[in-house]
Structure 1
Amino acid sequence: MDRLTNTVRPYAWGSTTAIPNLLGTEPTGEPQAELWMGAHPGAPSLVDRGAGARPLTEIIDADPEGELGAAAVARFGTRLPFLLKILAAEQPLSLQVHPDLDRARAGFADEEARGVPLEAPHRNYKDANHKPELLCALTEFDGVCGFRPPAEAAGVLAALEVDSLKPYVDILRAGPEEAALREVLTAVLTADRGATAESVTEAAAAAARLVDEDGPHRRAYAAYASLADRYPGDPGVIAAMLLNHVRLEPGEALFLDAGVPHAYFGGLGVEIMAGSDNVLRSGLTSKHVDVPELLRVVRFAATPPGVIRPSRAAGATAEEVYETPIDEFRLSRFALTESAGAAELVCASAQILLCTAGTVTVESPQSALTLEPGHSVFVPADEPLALSGRGTVFRATAVA
């Protein structure tokens, strides 16, 4: 196994303190949004096997079956099929959606054929892969995910009593679900920006007033008012009102499949996803927004947020699994105590272990490493391990 040296991504929405506090390091004063663990070519982790630090991508390329496992290579190819992150949001991320595998392949091939540079700011598809993801909260975590039922979305908008939003309310109350959601989101994102800015200003003021009332959407209105403060006049504020507001408690998780619109507003969490960087944005961002392409990808169906709580793994005494329908990744958690003894584990595919609390010892037949919060290790396929100590460890693997 190998201790990982990981890259921090300094996106503007990141917290200046959350990741440094977890790692026990001094803040730099700059945003530290994501800590990447894995072999994504955008920021691969480094490992040192005695000849100096090398990217994990190079280690895997030298012996894919030995590092990833033969079954995983046969199923996912010669790449680590997941990317693990610590995500620290101090400001809202963009309102976004991810493509399914077919659309990602087609979109990537199209942009390649048209010669769109890979790093061009207007490029939609950075790779040919899909990007389902799971976020597990380490602190309270706030966001929106999936469309509300149209009647509920109509009620949220109607309570604002903004005249310019009343046509949307009528459509949501009268039309079939898919058609109504499509028509309203399309109208919101393609309307005249000046008129939309006025609607957002009025809606934000109304949302701020409704925060003081003891209604079922009080927390959601507070979030919408805050969004409008950060992104004045942005149509993404109205679009977010069509989505379920969700607040995760520590240990709870949110699964995001292809086509499901979502945005993270704030909090610290562990995130795992298929190894992709494909994002289509609809608002709450200064980055490229491609409304026609986004509307091709969005799944226009009411989708409950689907908060996931971990369940005990079969045959395990300390491992709790966050179940998802995705094969590229599996995320589980160990809550270790000294009295419970060591947890034994082995996996036919590669895995990454991440400590988020306490002090934990990881032992293999060849070595032993001590992990503290923010430390992580890469474990090749079929290497037996024992975890001991007092703390919390997340385990990322593929389902091979």
Structure 2
Amino acid sequence: MRSAASFKLGLSHTADADSAWKVEAVKQVEYHVIAARNLFALKSTQLLDSCSAAPLTRGDRRLIIIDANVDRIHGDRIRRYFEHHGVDAHFVPMRADETVKEWSSVIRVVDAMNGFGIDRRREPVIAIGGGVLLDVVGFAASVYRRGTPYIRIPTTLIGLVDAGVGVKTGVNYAMGKNRLGTYAPAIATYVDRAFLRTLDDRHLSNGLAEILKMALIKSVDLFELLETYGPRLIADNFQGTSGELDTAATQVIAESIHLMLEELQPNLWESCLERCVDYGHTFSPTLEMEALPALLHGEAVGIDMALTSALGFLRGSLGSADLDRILTVMKRLGLPVWNDVLDKTGLLDAALADTVRHRDGRQRLPLPVGIGGHHFANDVTPGEIASALKLLSRKNAELGEPTVTRVAS
């Protein structure tokens, strides 16, 4: 009989009548976020060789799950790229929005992987689309044969700076935002601003909400960039048609990704539940699902940030001038700070209670400290929430509707 001493380090055995074994193992996690310029230009080789973990050579096969709208706009160009480089690419266009971010969409991706006969060691799935598609494909890849590698190519601003850079995947279930999900890092994410050229203003504003989130809790410098350039970047679709706007677009996207990864990297599996990147995500999951499809994800996050900024003001951690400055920037970025769903009795109290369940019984509610700082609260009361709502309603009326005016760059 093998003795306990012969086992490898990390496996211990007690040799009494009721034997027990303790297994300890560490898995190294590594993934890449790669800035790209015109990824699918025929002369570009970034997708072929910039990530050593997923080289792509002539004669290889790839299964490509692509958002149906992206396929309609960019599909011909992307197909020509793979044909030019001799890659046998099989495309599966899919509808991908919050109303279909559900288990049935996951099954469709699983069926595609199964029908393709994917080699899960050598043929990573490629997901091309917005945050919803990246989440669905990532979830499907994580559960197919207990883990299939995948590559993300986000095509929306929210995908570039948020959904494409972390390790979480998820789909909605029973009115629960991302109730089903896994931690499953992609091999690589390619961040290419060229896709933003065809995005409409609303979806650019949607992504800017997640950038503003990072600014409000971590960086006054990033906030000032948004304050100075935000509307012009929307008008320019982040394409950098002048040197000044190119620099601003690069700085805004790069800094928001860097700040996000700086927070995620030490806590990828969320062992610590006090996460400042949860700012804007306390009430918004319930708001978004309740108002579906009226609110986009970033719009719900924006309303959450407006509400918690009002809370911060009432608690004394945010000055009156800073509150007005934050709400003004939100409006200038085309983000709503109010939605009629907020009038629903008890909705926000229920939203906070649901979040508490997900944060191990405590609120762990990030609140702003000035612009660029934060702290966590665990004692917010329903009365405070009601007072913050009244203040926000008044401020919203004073500021008027959000507007983004197209101007020459």
Per the normalisation by structure 1, the TM-score is: 0.24
TM-score when normalising by structure 2: 0.24
More strand by share: 1
- Structure of higher RCO (CA pairs closer than 8 Å, 6+ residues apart): 1
Q: Which structure has greater helix proportion? A: 2
